[in-house]
């Protein structure tokens, strides 16, 4: 079955039937359970650790920072984060000790028999709070990363602008709520420390282990087990958990499983960065953007983790898909004593797109112009630059894309009927709103060059091929679409393609499964590896009957048949990481989302009643899977906009249960109408671009634009919980 | 941990008279929440699930509905007669958790757990239910609206079991129920209210706005006097003496108070 066809999910039946063995399901005779002793305060000095003398500690394995063979550093972008606190803790729930025991019951008793005395130090819990010297914990100013994007010279333009509009937009954190919580199994196998578990990026885990243990790569083997959802939550955190399990396995000599329960998972793992974005915009009298000043502030939490790249993507998308000659975007990710925030679907872009798309509606209302018209006048057109100077050369007519989405949603008719309805109903108010936006596919700027991803495809004597990449399927369908890409390029049935389990002992490093890069960037490399394999056969793509050739070649004694490809930066992509000018991404996906809402003024509850998601994503590789990705992203966006409220106490999540952290249920969701415009792009396999993160960007601004219209109040903060909406509408009467 | 599994009420009551008193468990849908975080060394459970007879029966007669202590939400939902005779019971039952909980969770367990957010209790109280308690010392009946004395505090003595809930059949002029939670299903009530007007008068029962599910007696007497309200604020002013909402991680006191008065206002206006 070729790309574009609806190949059912290859992993689907196993998961549906409960056969797929997640890490906690792996039968591991003799395995011990691991657990973590954590800080109970956001910041402090560890004074003492008491072990209850009445408890029998003999058979408990205890690991602290002194057991670490190499540097006590979690290797990510920086190395500022210890894997076990030594002396000082920087956030609540920071790991201090690790315990392991064969009995999970005794382990829990042991946890209760340990008391850590921490002398509290002053903590900073709000990134915007004024700094005093005793609060400085990173460099001289707690700034984890600073980014400046400049185009033209905004300053002088404000003096001659017809309108100057300002606004401030705030987004909350968000928990991933993957169905499978984080889990790792570490054990000695064949002379190597072997780690299996739930992860997005096996090579990140391998790098982190190598660094911490101070050993070579061959000392470790990292294998991905089936993953029950990631959404970015299993990008960097698994490196820490893998290290913890490995330290316990090394010290105890037994296999050690560390599986978080939901409460621990929610309380201690990474989440979406809370943000605050300020806009100051100059426009001419017709609503054309003359100059934009944008300040983006992210709460990074206690350590650097991935904040620099989250900030980067956020800033690059901050001016939206609009043309403006004079732009200054200033971004900062600042330290707070919260558990580190990390990767989450969209990676900073949902935050800044919420801000710009709310701001566009605020501008429209203030200067008295239709929000559709305002966008039509400013959407980028062929030959015009985006914020980083990247020239728009895409085939998509963005105003036409917007118009089509609005038509599908009956935007005009509904705007009118809602106005009628709102005049007559005692307590229900309806509104329709939309957002126009884009999302870059793949790593930012020079990121892909730096990764230098590699993929292999191996022909087997039975005529099948095995695709070897580090790309992980966490439920999004990677295995299925990559199978389709291979089958199409080689001209063989999908049944003859196998996708290797990501295992660092036998697959090359094709980079992480993040950043909407797998289908487009790795997919393209797979096409090239297929071509290499065909070349070795003396054939080319499109030739018929390849299977026999594969069989014959792969059967030759002493010969192997492996097609290879390695990422080469296309000459046409120019990016300067110092000035942040150039082609931030090879290409983007483009979209307009429209949301219809109904607000109940009695309860201040908002229901999304209809949703249209129209996007141009190049060529769709598998319609069912792509539709699922978009619909799922829209649901996650609805959750972020309306329901999901991370309540912080001492900087850490307090409502860390499914009961109290409210994700929408099926009954809360509207019909989601997913529509694709297909314009094959030369960047991805068969013309595909990235889609994984895009749907996270549009729902929140579309929904809040709709709410603001329904209740004729400006709402610039999410989540719009009923409590927030009550406050915002109070004093305005309710009926 | 110790688990007793009596097969007769007689044996169950005898076990309840022992020291230390075991904790009764019916559907377990409250008791098992956060189960593995609870120390269990000293825990003794009395499993009610094998008690048939009176405890498992749901009886509708000409003047009473009697729910045996093991009656589940689903038993009510699945009975057209009971749903018709007491529509609010079925309505509330359908909004408890989801089907898995509705088929295991019991009305008696909802009362026994004593949560201020319990959804079964307001409708029972609005229908003027009576709780039947029994111990080796005998049997007594307590009005549900006098059952709670504080947060998770009740008049039930340690050795008593709830054996049944009785509800009188009356002609009603008005009855409705509203649950406001954070989402459409599987949600803990932020504020809820059950209202019944029958031959004995108005009963307005609210949950999640006080340390226990409570009647709003000041509002009831205003309604009794035939007072009409021009705004939700008028209702809120009266409610101030009936309820004591708090801020917690699920909502705010202001939200609970305001929403309760608005829901009441529009519902009462509707029926006026
Ligand atoms: C996912 C989920 C969703 C839920 N949703 C809701 C909801 O929407 N609304 C709601 O109100 N509740 C909800 N609950 C709570 C719970 O389901 C109900 O309170 C249910 O009615 C409890 O009944 P049970 O039989 O399971 O009680 P159990 O857990 O067995 O017992 C609860 C308490 O009552 C005591 N008890 C039980 N039977 C007796 C008896 N005969 N005599 C004396 N004491 C007794 C027990 O000792 C215990 O203290 C939910 C629970 C879960 C897990």
Indicate the helix (H) or strand (E) that contains B3. Answer: strand B2-4
- Assess if residue A460 is contained within a domain: yes
pLDDT at A546 over 70: yes
Residue A593 dihedral angles phi and psi, to the nearest 5°: -115, 140
Residues from chain A contacting residue B42 (CB–CB below 8 Å): none
Whether A524 contacts A553, CB under 8 Å: no
Residue labelled with tokens 């942040």: A580
User: What's the confidence (pLDDT) of residue A515?
Assistant: 84
Which residues sit with their C-beta closer than 6 Å to ligand 1?
Answer: B 23-31, 33, 48, 69, 96-97, 101, 104-106, 108-110, 112-113, 118-120, 161-162
User: What's the confidence (pLDDT) of residue A559?
Assistant: 87
pLDDT at A733 over 70: no
Q: How confident is the model at residue A583 (pLDDT cuts 50, 70, 90)?
A: very high
A288 and A435 belong to one structural domain = yes
Of all residues in chain A, what percent carry a pLDDT higher than 90? Answer: 95
- Assess if residue A250 is contained within a domain: yes
Q: How far apart are CA A379 and CA A388, in angstroms?
A: 15
User: What's the confidence (pLDDT) of residue A3?
Assistant: 55
Residues from chain B contacting residue A723 (CB–CB below 8 Å): 251-252, 254-255
Please judge whether B249 and A667 are an interchain contact, meaning their C-beta atoms are less than 8 angstroms apart.
Answer: no
Chain A nearest CA to B180, separation (Å): 7
Indicate the helix (H) or strand (E) that contains B206. Answer: strand B201-207
User: What's the confidence (pLDDT) of residue A2?
Assistant: 54
- What number is the average pLDDT over the span A536-556? 93
CATH number at residue A116: 3.90.1170.50
Residue labelled with tokens 């960047």: A683
A282 and A204 belong to one structural domain = no
Q: How far apart are CA B241 and CA B213, in angstroms?
A: 15
Cα angle value A91/A659/A225 (rounded, 5°)? 70
Residues from chain A contacting residue B258 (CB–CB below 8 Å): 726
User: What's the confidence (pLDDT) of residue B54?
Assistant: 85
Architecture field, domain B172-271: 2-Layer Sandwich (3.30)
What radius of gyration, in Å, describes the C-alpha atoms of chain B? 19
CB of A600 within 8 Å of a chain B CB? The answer is no
Tens digit of each residue's pLDDT (9 = 90 or more) over A297-351: 999 999 999 999 999 999 999 999 999 999 999 999 999 999 999 999 999 999 9
Phi-psi label, residue B251: left if phi above 0, alpha if psi -120 to 50, beta otherwise? beta
Of all residues in chain B, what percent carry a pLDDT higher than 70? Answer: 99
Tens digit of each residue's pLDDT (9 = 90 or more) over A254-277: 999 999 999 999 999 999 999 999
Contact residues, chain B to chain A, C-beta under 8 Å: 34, 36-37, 39, 180, 182-188, 190, 232, 249-252, 254-255, 258-259, 262-263, 265-266, 269
Please judge whether A603 and B250 are an interchain contact, meaning their C-beta atoms are less than 8 angstroms apart.
Answer: no
A222 and A112 belong to one structural domain = yes
Residue nearest to atom 25 of ligand 1 (CA): B27
CB of A108 within 8 Å of a chain B CB? The answer is yes
Please judge whether A664 and B183 are an interchain contact, meaning their C-beta atoms are less than 8 angstroms apart.
Answer: yes
A596 and A721 belong to one structural domain = yes
Residue A296 dihedral angles phi and psi, to the nearest 5°: -110, 125
Q: How far apart are CA B157 and CA A452, in angstroms?
A: 72
Whether A660 contacts B249, CB under 8 Å: yes
- Local structure of residue A670 (DSSP, 8 states): P
Please judge whether A722 and B255 are an interchain contact, meaning their C-beta atoms are less than 8 angstroms apart.
Answer: yes
Tens digit of each residue's pLDDT (9 = 90 or more) over A138-177: 999 999 999 999 999 999 999 999 999 999 999 999 999 9
**Six-digit token pair at B55?**
């405890």
The alpha carbon of A188 and the centre of ligand 1 are apart by a number of angstroms equal to: 46
- What number is the average pLDDT over the span B220-232? 97
Q: How far apart are CA B255 and CA B217, in angstroms?
A: 21
From the list A426, A601, A667, which residue is nearest B185 (CB)? A667
Tens digit of each residue's pLDDT (9 = 90 or more) over A419-429: 999 999 999 99
The alpha carbon of B29 and the centre of ligand 1 are apart by a number of angstroms equal to: 5
A233 and A369 belong to one structural domain = no
Q: What atom in ligand 1 is closest to the CA of residue B96?
A: 8
Across B26-69, where does the E strand assignment appear? 44-47, 58-60, 64-68
Residue A535: alpha-carbon gap to chain centroid: 37
A187 and A297 belong to one structural domain = no
> How many domains is chain A built from?
3
pLDDT at A671 over 60: yes
Q: How far apart are CA B52 and CA B71, in angstroms?
A: 11
Nearest CA in chain B to A604: B259
User: What's the confidence (pLDDT) of residue A734?
Assistant: 47
Whether B8 contacts B162, CB under 8 Å: no
pLDDT at A1 over 80: no
- Assess if residue A267 is contained within a domain: no
Name the average pLDDT for chain A. Answer: 96
Q: Counting Cβ atoms within 10 Å, is residue A163 exposed (0-12), middle (13-18) or buried (19+)?
A: middle
- Assess if residue A482 is contained within a domain: yes
**Residues forming a β-bridge with B150:** B153
A250 and A357 belong to one structural domain = no
Tens digit of each residue's pLDDT (9 = 90 or more) over A2-26: 556 789 999 999 999 999 999 999 9
- What number is the average pLDDT over the span A595-611? 98
ipTM entry: 0.95
Name the average pLDDT for chain B. Answer: 96
What radius of gyration, in Å, describes the C-alpha atoms of chain A? 26
Domain closes at, from A536, A566, A596: A566
Helix pair angle (A371-378, A398-408), 10° resolution: 160
Please judge whether A427 and B232 are an interchain contact, meaning their C-beta atoms are less than 8 angstroms apart.
Answer: no
A282 and A408 belong to one structural domain = yes
- What number is the average pLDDT over the span A25-36? 96
Phi-psi label, residue A580: left if phi above 0, alpha if psi -120 to 50, beta otherwise? left
A422 and A514 belong to one structural domain = no
Supply the range of the domain harboring residue A712.
Answer: 275-443+580-729
From the list A654, A659, A734, which residue is nearest B262 (CB)? A734
Cα angle value A506/A225/A307 (rounded, 5°)? 90
CB of A733 within 8 Å of a chain B CB? The answer is no
Domain closes at, from A541, A566, A591: A566
Across A172-306, where does the E strand assignment appear? 183-189, 192-197, 220-224, 256-259, 275-283, 289-301
Q: How far apart are CA B259 and CA B236, in angstroms?
A: 9
Q: What string of DSSP letters covers B215-228?
A: E-HHHHHHHHTT--
Cα angle value B179/B182/B187 (rounded, 5°)? 70
**Six-digit token pair at A669?**
């969701």
Residues 6+ apart with CB under 8 A from A336: A124, A125, A126, A127, A299, A300, A301, A302, A651
CB pairs under 8 A between A and B: 63
CATH number at residue A662: 3.30.365.10
Tens digit of each residue's pLDDT (9 = 90 or more) over B13-50: 999 999 889 999 999 999 998 787 777 878 899 999 99
- What number is the average pLDDT over the span B95-105? 96
A412 and A477 belong to one structural domain = no
A590 and A708 belong to one structural domain = yes
User: What's the confidence (pLDDT) of residue A272?
Assistant: 98
Domain closes at, from A229, A259, A289: A259
Q: How far apart are CA B100 and CA B120, in angstroms?
A: 16
A399 and A333 belong to one structural domain = yes
Across A469-556, where does the E strand assignment appear? 497-499
Q: How far apart are CA A594 and CA A612, in angstroms?
A: 5
Indicate the helix (H) or strand (E) that contains B112. Answer: helix B107-113
**Residues forming a β-bridge with B139:** B134
Q: How far apart are CA B261 and CA A379, in angstroms?
A: 46
Whether B124 contacts B144, CB under 8 Å: yes
Please judge whether A643 and B182 are an interchain contact, meaning their C-beta atoms are less than 8 angstroms apart.
Answer: yes
- Assess if residue A158 is contained within a domain: no
């Amino acid at each position: 079955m070729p790309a574009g066809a609806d190949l059912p999910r290859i992993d689907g039946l196993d998961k549906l039937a409960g056969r797929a063995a997640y890490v906690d399901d792996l039968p591991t005779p003799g395995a011990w359970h691991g657990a973590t002793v954590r800080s109970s305060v956001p910041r402090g000095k560890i004074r003492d650790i008491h072990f209850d003398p009445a408890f029998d500690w003999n058979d408990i394995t205890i690991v602290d920072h002194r057991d670490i063979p190499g540097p006590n550093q979690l290797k990510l972008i920086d190395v500022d984060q210890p894997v076990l606190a030594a002396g000082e803790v920087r956030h609540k729930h920071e790991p201090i000790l690790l315990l392991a025991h064969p009995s999970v019951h005794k382990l829990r008793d042991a946890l209760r028999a340990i008391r850590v005395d921490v002398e509290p130090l002053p903590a900073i819990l709000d990134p915007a709070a004024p700094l005093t010297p005793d609060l400085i914990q990173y460099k001289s100013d707690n700034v984890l990363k600073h980014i400046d994007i400049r185009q033209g010279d905004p300053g002088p333009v404000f003096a001659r602008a017809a309108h100057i509009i300002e606004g401030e937009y705030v987004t909350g954190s968000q928990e991933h709520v993957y169905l499978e919580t984080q889990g790792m199994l570490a054990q000695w196998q064949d002379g190597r420390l072997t780690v299996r578990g739930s992860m997005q990026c096996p090579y990140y885990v391998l790098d982190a282990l190598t660094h911490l243990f101070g050993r070579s790569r061959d000392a470790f083997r990292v294998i991905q087990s089936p993953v029950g959802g990631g959404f970015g939550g299993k990008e960097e955190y698994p490196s820490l958990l893998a290290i913890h399990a490995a330290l316990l396995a090394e010290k105890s000599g037994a296999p050690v499983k560390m599986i978080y329960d939901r409460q621990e998972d929610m309380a201690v793992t990474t989440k979406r960065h809370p943000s605050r974005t300020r806009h100051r915009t100059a426009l001419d009298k017709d609503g054309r953007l003359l100059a934009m000043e944008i300040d983006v502030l992210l709460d990074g939490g206690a350590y650097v983790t991935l904040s620099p790249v989250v900030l980067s993507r956020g800033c690059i998308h901050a001016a939206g898909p609009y043309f403006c000659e004079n732009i200054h975007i200033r971004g900062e990710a600042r330290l707070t004593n919260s558990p580190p925030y990390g990767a989450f679907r969209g990676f900073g872009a949902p935050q800044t797109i919420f801000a710009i798309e709310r701001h566009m509606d605020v501008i429209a209302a203030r200067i008295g112009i239709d929000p559709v018209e305002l966008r039509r006048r400013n959407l980028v057109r062929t030959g015009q630059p985006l914020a980083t100077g990247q020239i728009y050369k895409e085939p998509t007519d963005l105003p036409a894309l917007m118009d089509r989405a609005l038509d599908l949603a009956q935007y005009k008719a509904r705007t009118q009927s809602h106005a009628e309805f709102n005049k007559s109903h005692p307590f229900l108010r309806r509104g329709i709103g939309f957002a126009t936006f884009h999302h870059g596919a793949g790593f930012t700027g020079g990121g892909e060059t730096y990764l230098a991803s590699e993929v292999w495809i191996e022909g087997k004597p039975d005529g099948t091929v095995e695709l070897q990449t580090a790309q992980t399927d966490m439920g999004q369908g990677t295995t299925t679409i990559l199978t389709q890409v291979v089958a199409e390029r080689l001209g063989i049935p999908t049944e003859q393609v196998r996708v290797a389990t990501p295992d660092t002992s036998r697959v090359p490093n094709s980079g992480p499964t993040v950043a909407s890069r797998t289908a487009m960037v790795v997919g393209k490399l797979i096409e090239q590896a297929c071509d290499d394999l065909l070349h070795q056969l003396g054939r080319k793509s499109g030739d018929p009957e390849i299977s026999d050739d594969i069989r014959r070649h792969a059967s030759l004694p002493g010969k192997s048949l492996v097609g290879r490809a390695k990422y080469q930066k296309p000459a046409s992509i120019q990016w300067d990481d110092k000035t942040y000018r150039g082609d931030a991404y090879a290409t983007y996906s483009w979209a307009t989302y429209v949301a219809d809402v109904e607000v109940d003024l009695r309860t201040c509850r908002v229901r999304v009643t209809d949703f249209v998601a129209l996007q141009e994503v190049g060529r769709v590789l598998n319609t069912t899977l792509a539709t699922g990705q978009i619909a799922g992203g829209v649901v996650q966006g609805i959750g972020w906009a309306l329901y999901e409220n991370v309540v912080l106490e001492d900087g850490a999540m307090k409502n860390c249960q499914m009961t109290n952290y409210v994700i929408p249920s099926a009954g809360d969701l509207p019909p989601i109408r997913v529509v694709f415009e297909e314009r094959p792009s030369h960047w991805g396999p068969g013309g595909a671009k990235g889609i994984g993160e895009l749907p996270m960007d549009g729902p929140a601004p579309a929904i809040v634009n709709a709410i603001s219209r329904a209740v004729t109040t400006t709402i610039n903060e999410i989540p719009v919980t009923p409590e927030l909406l009550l406050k915002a509408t109070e004093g305005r009467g309710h009926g | 941990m110790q688990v007793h599994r009596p097969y007769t009420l007689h044996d169950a009551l005898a076990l309840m008279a022992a020291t230390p008193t075991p904790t009764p468990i019916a559907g377990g849908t409250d008791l098992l929440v956060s189960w593995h975080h609870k120390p269990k060394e000293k825990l003794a459970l009395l499993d009610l699930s094998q008690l048939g007879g009176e405890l498992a029966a749901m009886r509708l007669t000409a003047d009473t509905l009697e729910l045996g202590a093991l009656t589940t939400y689903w038993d009510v939902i699945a009975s057209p007669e009971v749903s018709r005779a007491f529509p609010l019971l079925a309505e509330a039952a359908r909004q408890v958790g989801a089907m898995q909980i509705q088929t295991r969770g019991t009305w008696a367990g909802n009362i026994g757990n004593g949560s201020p957010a319990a959804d079964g209790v307001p409708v029972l109280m609005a229908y003027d239910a009576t709780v039947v308690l029994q111990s080796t010392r005998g049997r007594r009946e307590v009005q549900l609206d006098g059952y709670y004395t504080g947060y998770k505090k009740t008049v039930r003595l340690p050795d008593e079991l709830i054996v049944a809930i009785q509800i009188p059949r009356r002609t009603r002029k008005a009855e409705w129920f509203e649950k406001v939670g954070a989402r459409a299903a599987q949600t803990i009530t932020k504020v809820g209210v059950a209202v019944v007007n029958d031959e004995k008068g108005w009963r307005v029962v609210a949950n999640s706005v006080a340390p226990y599910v409570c009647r709003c007696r000041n509002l009831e007497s205003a309604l009794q006097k035939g007072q009409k309200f021009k705004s939700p604020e008028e209702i809120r002013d009266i409610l101030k003496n009936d309820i004591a909402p708090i801020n917690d991680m699920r909502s705010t006191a202001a939200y609970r108070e305001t929403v309760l008065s608005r829901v009441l206002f529009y519902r009462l206006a509707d029926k006026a």
